[in-house]
Amino acid sequence: MADSSFDIVSKVDRQEVDNALNQAAKEISQRYDFKNVGASITWSGESIVLVANSSERVLAVLDVFETKLVKRGISLKALELGDREPKPSGKEYRLAATLKEGLAGESAKKVTKIIREEGPKGVKTQITGDEVRVTSKSRDQLQEVQSLLKGSDLDFALQFTNYR
């Protein structure tokens, strides 16, 4: 019988992020507590820029955006903030966020180490580019690996694809 396998990736659906950003911008433009504070949320190249006239309002805009991301099924671990403290820029405060994608070297090694140490025996892992392929003769073992990784506290979002 052939081996079963799946890939572990860390990708974000840009369309869903864009939808969440547009919903957050619409809510910010309509909410009473954001009137006359210059609050906005926009794309700036590859990053997302949140702007308001006080640091508390910027954090409130961030909270609205995070709520929209969660409702759209996007993990907050994929959102990377430089630091959570808004920076003053003239008369307004700004906060920039980027999206983390791909399992870089250290992240992939951390995932394979967890599988090797705590996963079932007979499961093989292979790092290829920005994803990790997990193979085993038993599909039950692959499901054990998935539940193990879902339960582990990693600082990046994981998705499981190409389940064969």
At 99-139, the pLDDT tens digits run 888 777 788 888 888 888 887 888 888 888 888 888 888 88
Q: Which of 158, 164, 163, 162 is nearest to 9 (CA)?
A: 158
Domains of the chain: 4-10+103-161 (3.30.70.860), 14-99 (3.30.70.990)
How would residue 160 be classed by pLDDT, with cut points 50, 70 and 90? confident
Instruction: Please tell me the predicted confidence (pLDDT) of residue 1.
Output: 56
State the DSSP H helix or E strand holding residue 124, giving kind and residue range, or none if neither: strand 124-128
pTM here is: 0.80
Long-range contact set of residues 16-23: C-beta below 8 Å, sequence gap at least 24: 16/72, 16/73, 16/74, 17/69, 17/72, 17/74, 17/99, 18/43, 19/72, 20/65, 20/68, 20/69, 20/71, 20/72, 20/74, 21/48, 21/65, 21/68, 23/68
Q: Which of 59, 80, 67, 56 is nearest to 24 (CA)?
A: 67
At 13-51, the pLDDT tens digits run 889 999 999 999 999 999 898 888 888 999 888 889 999
The yes-or-no verdict on residue 2 having pLDDT over 80 is no
Counting residues of the chain whose pLDDT is more than 70, the rounded percentage is 99
Instruction: Please tell me the predicted confidence (pLDDT) of residue 108.
Output: 84
Mean pLDDT of the chain: 86
Distances in whole angstroms, Cα of residue 122 to Cα of each of 47, 118, 145: 41, 12, 11
Q: What is the DSSP string of 65-89?
A: HHHHHHHTT--GGGEEES-SSPEEE
